[in-house]
Structure 1
Amino acid sequence: MQGLTICTTAVFIIGEIAGVGVLALPRAVDDTGWIGFVLIVVFTLLSTYTATLIGKCWAMIQERYPEYRSHVPDPYPIMGEKTYGKTGRYLVTITLNIFNFGSSVVFLVLAAGNIETLLTDVIKDISFCYWLMILTCIVVPIVCLGTPKDFCFRPIGVGAAISTGIACTLIIIQIFQDNSHSKNTTVHSNIKLQNFSSAFGTMVFAVSGHSVFPTIITDMKKKEDFKLAALLGYGIVLLMYIPTAASGYFVYGRDVNVNIIRSIPAGPLAYVVDILVTLHLLLGFIIYMNPVCQQFEAKVGVPKAFTWKRCIVRPLIVLVVLFIAESVPHFGAILSLVGGSTTTLLSYVFPCLFYMKLCNSNCGNKTDHPSSVIEWSLVLRMTSHVTIQTK
């Protein structure tokens, strides 16, 4: 089976991270003021850089450990193990699964909310909770597909990227049409520390797909080309984010909803945008669930090939996500909390620590040294501080 190319990898990057940012960044910018645009650019550049570090880390691990030169289900935890021993592996595994589960919940909640709004005048008897269950039944068969390198999986990334690009264009068109018919003066929110912290977490989440990047890298034809794919993917994402956030910020101001679709007036364009964004969210949900499923399957001994065991394990994992979504159906709180805690570790802390450790001549030792314990204690302190600020 051939691996992913630069363009295909870039498409997966776009399809994975672009959707939620398009919806939530206009409100996040209003909560931070004009400095929000600077923060989006800064976080995008930082995320691009740390994404390339992940690619370099995996290349070094494959060079030193031949057993990892084929596809593996848990590349990110392996990076933690080869740099900081069992402590690193456990911390990465826990953080990774919390992030992927949290992201999957956000995507499912948003998709169900969009469908409920779209069909509220047609189907009034189906509530939000029931839409969550209906969408879960729809995505379960697709979740049972293989990995990103499989041909059947590639249309998911392509569909997510294309739907988001079209949706961004239509959102901007609809916003400016609404502005041309409105005579109201735009008023912006007063910047408050709590809102600023929440927006900070949202922005970090919007440009972070690092939990899935190692899985994508292992499926690439040439692992060293990931840096080019990251530059291309993040460049296109930034071209989506800035115009959408700017149009919502300057036209609606403090009246912009946490989900930009709720701010644009009802009409044909709004309905099309709703459908496209919902499509992206469902496809993005599948992308985020894939690493979680692969790790769990490796633990319980499910074969890499498609078998009936996969059709039992993966639906059970999706049911856990459904339970969380039904319990906490407010995506804004989940988004900010996940963005300010686990995302910080996966996107900015771990890649830098792992790269520096792998560049050290003693990186192959699996035991935990006193220096490693000190480094991890500093990481945990920093993360807990960011989490408190985000809350």
Structure 2
Amino acid sequence: MAKMLISQVRNFLPTTEKSEKAGFVQFENEATEMTNISNGSAKTETHTDEENVEKISAWQAGWNVTNAIQGMFIVTFPYCVLEGGYWAIFAMIGVAWICYYTGNILVECLYETDDMGMRVRVRDSYVRIAEDVWGRSIGGRIVHTALLIELLMTCILYVLLCGDLMVGLMPNSDMNLASWIMLSTFLLVPCAFLRSLRAVSWFSFWCTVAHMFINAIIIIYCLTKASDWKFADVQIRIDIWTLPISVGIVVFSYTSQIFLPSLEGSLHDRRLFRPMLKWTHIAAAVFKALFSYIGFVTWGFSTKEVITNNLSNDALKSVVNLFLVAKALLSYPLPYFAAVQLLETALFKGRPITVFPPCYDSNANMTVWALTLRIGLVILTMLFAIYIPHFNVLMGLIGAFTGNMLSLVWPCWFHLKLRQGTLGLWQKTRNYGIITFGLVCSVLGIYDSAHGLVRAFQGHEPRPFQGG
């Protein structure tokens, strides 16, 4: 099951979900000039409505972005080199730049320049941007639905992955996959009481610590095998069937755009957003390229889809997998919190604004509606992980569309529409080029996942292009 899950992650662009939600909180009409950071000459005018908004530092925002772009699936990156050769390594660097760029222009779409030449934050979320481009009835609903799908799929993926890893750790246990999933879900119930992005940032921090520990163990192990590294196994030629698989995994791994408007809106100093995004993506690109290359040359063509499965020492493999379980559990709060806030914003503000009563009383305490929504979402992710057959393949099919649209295509399209009078020829060309790249990735991902889904229902391993 874990092999199936990872083989399909190349097409699921969540979120991992990563998702901005229609605003973790409403960041109403707050503006900060974001230019001239280096010389400190930015003009700043601020209009705040900061009730219930807890600000975070650039470091805390960086932990959240790192959680999103250096997530669970970096252990599949050496396998990308098997499928894509040197071109996969180039993609790890190139896609990092593309996603850094789309993240910046998405946040730029939150701002307009006023008569005084100052940039004012007139939009508070991804959904609000879509509403201004496509209209409230169409644009807002399309992006709102895509965000929610992406977030929930990410949450379900983490729960399912916890169960798969525990089954692999204890194959002789009396507990089956469903039992391990339920146990993992029990550990995640406290997420229902998360109230601030600051608390979520701490989960992301410890997730990053677990991530660094896992990768340090694997790299040290690979370095002990340096005398046997298989440099000749890294291919230069392009395989038109396997390279898209590698690129799909890489694009998926850099998805953070869906969180960025909320993260930028919650920063103490929004001028630090761009450098924070730049350095997190540079660090991710460098680490992913080195980790993938070292991991692949250690085992060459014997590299497995999850690099930890190549570890020959059972005790070492068990320790690494336990940390992977911890990392999956610590990764869950970020997309979960975003999904909760998305639903609260859309459905639980009280009549006549929304269908349901508000989630908070006059003292900002959670009501029964809030607890029902939050605990219900945790249970929902558990049920989907247990009962939906071939969920991971179906998730890849849906994610191939939503993820690429949210991370690549829509940010560029919205930027073109909202800034059409101010963009130069080069920037327009760049935006259209990224849109084309995103659409190609979507078409290949949808075809790949659909092929895999058909194979899964036929009783075969749901990996396209293999025999049997």
Band the TM-score falls in, shorter-chain normalisation = 0.7 to 0.9
Are the aligned partners of 2:93 and 2:286 in contact in 1 as well (CA < 8 Å)?
A: no
C-alpha spacing 1:139/1:246, structure 2 compared with 1 (3 Å): same
Instruction: Please list, as runs of the form range in 1=range in 2, the aligned pairs for 1:54-65 lying within 5 A after superposition.
Output: 54-60=106-112
Q: Specify the alignment match of 1:89 in structure 2.
A: 140
Question: SS at the partner of 2:175?
Answer: coil
Once residues 190 and 240 of structure 2 are traced to their aligned partners in structure 1, the CA distance between those partners, rounded to angstroms, is 43
Are the aligned partners of 1:55 and 1:217 in contact in 2 as well (CA < 8 Å)?
A: yes
Once residues 84 and 145 of structure 1 are traced to their aligned partners in structure 2, the CA distance between those partners, rounded to angstroms, is 33
* Percentage identity across paired residues of the two chains: 18
Q: Specify the alignment match of 1:303 in structure 2.
A: 359
C-alpha spacing 1:336/1:239, structure 2 compared with 1 (3 Å): farther
Question: SS at the partner of 1:26?
Answer: helix
Once residues 61 and 98 of structure 1 are traced to their aligned partners in structure 2, the CA distance between those partners, rounded to angstroms, is 33
Q: Specify the alignment match of 2:98 in structure 1.
A: 46
TM-score (norm 2): 0.69
Counterpart of 2:175 (choices 99, 120, 126) is 126
Q: Specify the alignment match of 2:184 in structure 1.
A: 135
C-alpha spacing 1:25/1:334, structure 2 compared with 1 (3 Å): farther
Are the aligned partners of 1:15 and 1:280 in contact in 2 as well (CA < 8 Å)?
A: no
Q: Name which structure has the greater RCO, CA cutoff 8 Å, separation 6+.
A: 1
Q: Specify the alignment match of 1:368 in structure 2.
A: none
Counterpart of 1:147 (choices 182, 191, 196) is 196
The answer as to 2:73 corresponding to 1:21 is yes
Are the aligned partners of 2:58 and 2:276 in contact in 1 as well (CA < 8 Å)?
A: yes
Are the aligned partners of 2:104 and 2:274 in contact in 1 as well (CA < 8 Å)?
A: yes
Counterpart of 1:321 (choices 378, 381, 403) is 381
Counterpart of 1:78 (choices 120, 123, 128) is 128
Counterpart of 2:164 (choices 113, 116, 119) is 113
Q: 1:2 offset after TM fit, Å?
A: 4.6
C-alpha spacing 1:24/1:185, structure 2 compared with 1 (3 Å): closer
Q: Specify the alignment match of 1:369 in structure 2.
A: none
Q: 1:384 offset after TM fit, Å?
A: 5.7
Once residues 192 and 68 of structure 2 are traced to their aligned partners in structure 1, the CA distance between those partners, rounded to angstroms, is 15
Once residues 226 and 102 of structure 2 are traced to their aligned partners in structure 1, the CA distance between those partners, rounded to angstroms, is 38
Instruction: Please list, as runs of the form range in 1=range in 2, the aligned pairs for 1:166-245 lying within 5 A after superposition.
Output: 166-177=213-224, 192-245=239-292
Question: SS at the partner of 1:220?
Answer: coil
C-alpha spacing 1:20/1:186, structure 2 compared with 1 (3 Å): farther
Once residues 175 and 336 of structure 1 are traced to their aligned partners in structure 2, the CA distance between those partners, rounded to angstroms, is 31
Are the aligned partners of 1:172 and 1:243 in contact in 2 as well (CA < 8 Å)?
A: no
Once residues 195 and 204 of structure 1 are traced to their aligned partners in structure 2, the CA distance between those partners, rounded to angstroms, is 15
Question: SS at the partner of 1:146?
Answer: coil
Q: 1:167 offset after TM fit, Å?
A: 1.5
Counterpart of 1:247 (choices 280, 286, 294) is 294
- CA offset digits 1:190-213 (Å, max 9, x no partner): 975443333222111011122222
Q: Specify the alignment match of 1:374 in structure 2.
A: none
C-alpha spacing 1:255/1:209, structure 2 compared with 1 (3 Å): same
Residue 284 of structure 1 aligns with an amino acid whose one-letter code is S
Q: Specify the alignment match of 2:429 in structure 1.
A: none
Unaligned ranges ≥5, structure 1: 363-377
Once residues 84 and 139 of structure 1 are traced to their aligned partners in structure 2, the CA distance between those partners, rounded to angstroms, is 37
Q: 1:265 offset after TM fit, Å?
A: 2.2
Which structure has greater helix proportion? 1
Q: Specify the alignment match of 2:89 in structure 1.
A: 37
The answer as to 2:207 corresponding to 1:156 is no
C-alpha spacing 1:249/1:345, structure 2 compared with 1 (3 Å): same
Residue 266 of structure 1 aligns with an amino acid whose one-letter code is N
Once residues 438 and 93 of structure 2 are traced to their aligned partners in structure 1, the CA distance between those partners, rounded to angstroms, is 26
C-alpha spacing 1:187/1:359, structure 2 compared with 1 (3 Å): closer
Are the aligned partners of 1:59 and 1:223 in contact in 2 as well (CA < 8 Å)?
A: no
C-alpha spacing 1:356/1:191, structure 2 compared with 1 (3 Å): closer
- CA offset digits 1:294-345 (Å, max 9, x no partner): 1112233243545143222122122222233224576874675466322211
Q: Specify the alignment match of 1:354 in structure 2.
A: 414
Question: SS at the partner of 1:309?
Answer: helix
Are the aligned partners of 2:200 and 2:333 in contact in 1 as well (CA < 8 Å)?
A: no
Backbone CA RMSD of aligned residues: 3.3
Are the aligned partners of 1:77 and 1:89 in contact in 2 as well (CA < 8 Å)?
A: yes
Residue 17 of structure 1 aligns with an amino acid whose one-letter code is I
Are the aligned partners of 1:12 and 1:158 in contact in 2 as well (CA < 8 Å)?
A: yes
Are the aligned partners of 1:144 and 1:310 in contact in 2 as well (CA < 8 Å)?
A: no
TM-score (norm 1): 0.82
Question: SS at the partner of 1:341?
Answer: helix
Once residues 183 and 356 of structure 1 are traced to their aligned partners in structure 2, the CA distance between those partners, rounded to angstroms, is 47
